[in-house]
Amino acid sequence: MSSPGPLTLYTINMSHYSEKIRWLLDYEQIPYTEIPVTPALHTLPMLAKGGFKQTTVPVIQQGSECVQDSPRIVDWLTLNCGPLKTMPEAFQEEILSVQQRFDAIGKPVARYLYLPGFAHDALIKDIWTQFATPAENLFVRAFYPVIKPVFKVKLKINPKDVARAEEKIAAAIEWLNKRLEGREYLVGEQFTVADITAASLLAPLACPPEHPIYGQAEFREKMSGPAQKWNDTPALIWVRKMYAQHRGLVWKDLLKAS
Ligand SMILES: N[C@@H](CCC(=O)N[C@@H](CS)C(=O)NCC(=O)O)C(=O)O
């Protein structure tokens, strides 16, 4: 690693973009400390750290340097922690193009999950407060009736936008079904950032058991229920295979500590 100092990764537990970077760091065995932030309370700290007029996670920090936005983090890791096994130089352009394709369906996937999910407030509150301090827990639960409608507007969780999201997801799954014909990995013959991106962004629909949230029966039933229609597609079967072969249990250390 050329830049000195430990890495910190800021995440939200349910965030699939966070899972993308967490998976990359785990797979590359790059040491880091994960700080799971609590939804709603993440906004100002991430806005300040990102310096990008965005409030999103993941954000990675080393010393005073912060990088927000998962493709930018991938670029930063390639430059500062490379060479990465998952970013072979000969395939870099193709990997980045597949990354872009699947990054683009992250929001539609979130929209698609929250529409049914918001009929189950108790589950959402439990997920949002999983890593909260006692004070954060009280705050989120007390202000949930205000946070929920704001969140719904911000993420466009309404029937019209969810219908569009469904079309985009269906197109991405169809593309992946075709891409996987006769091949194991999306680019070249090895596991790359392209596979990590596609598998992590689709993981909330595929519900791999290695993920402590997406793998729960309650999540599958109440949030990703409508996605079960794609359950047996080559695309989602492949996502579960990538988790089984290249991921292992997510948050082994974090869950031990909490
Ligand atoms: N383009 C960003 C998207 C990240 C994103 O949308 N993250 C969501 C969680 S999955 C988030 O932070 N939402 C809360 C917010 O926008 O404040 C990336 O690739 O990192």
Q: What are 166-188's pLDDT values in tens digits?
A: 999 999 999 999 999 999 999 99
Q: Tell me if 19 CB under 6 Å of ligand 1.
A: no
pLDDT at position 4 is 62
For residues 84 and 29, what is the distance between their CA atoms, to the nearest angstrom?
10
User: What pTM, to 2 d.p., does this model score?
Assistant: 0.97
Residue 103 has pLDDT above 70, yes or no: yes
Supply the DSSP string of 153-196, one letter for each residue.
HHTT-SHHHHHHHHHHHHHHHHHHHHHTTT-SSSSTTS--HHHH
User: What is the average pLDDT value for the chain, to the nearest integer?
Assistant: 96
Where residue 2 falls among pLDDT bands split at 50, 70, 90? very low
pLDDT digits (tens, 9 = 90+) for 117-171: 999 999 999 999 999 999 999 999 999 999 999 999 999 999 999 999 999 999 9
Rg (CA), the chain: 18
CB 32 within 8 A of CB 7: yes
How far does residue 183's CA lie from ligand 1's centre (Å)?
30
State residue 255's pLDDT score.
79
Residue nearest to atom 5 of ligand 1 (CA): 56
Across the range 31-39, mean pLDDT stands at 97
Q: Which of 10, 11, 13, 17 to mutate to test the pocket of ligand 1 (most atoms within 8 A of CB)?
A: 17
Topology classification of domain 92-249:
Glutathione S-transferase Yfyf (Class Pi); Chain A, domain 2 (1.20.1050)
**d(CA 181, ligand 1 centre) in Å:** 31
Region(s) of the chain under CATH 1.20.1050: 92-249
Atom number, ligand 1, closest to the C-alpha of residue 42: 17
Q: Is the CB of 69 under 6 A from ligand 1?
A: yes
Residues 47-102 have pLDDT tens digits of 999 988 999 999 999 999 999 999 999 999 999 999 999 999 999 999 999 999 99
User: Under CATH, what is the fold of the domain 7-87?
Assistant: Glutaredoxin (3.40.30)
DSSP 226: G
Residues of the chain with CATH 3.40.30.10: 7-87
The protein residue with its alpha carbon nearest to ligand 1, atom 9, reads 15
Q: Which pLDDT score is estimated for 1?
A: 44
Is 56 near ligand 1, meaning CB less than 6 Å away?
yes
Residue identifier of the C-alpha nearest atom 4 of ligand 1: 56
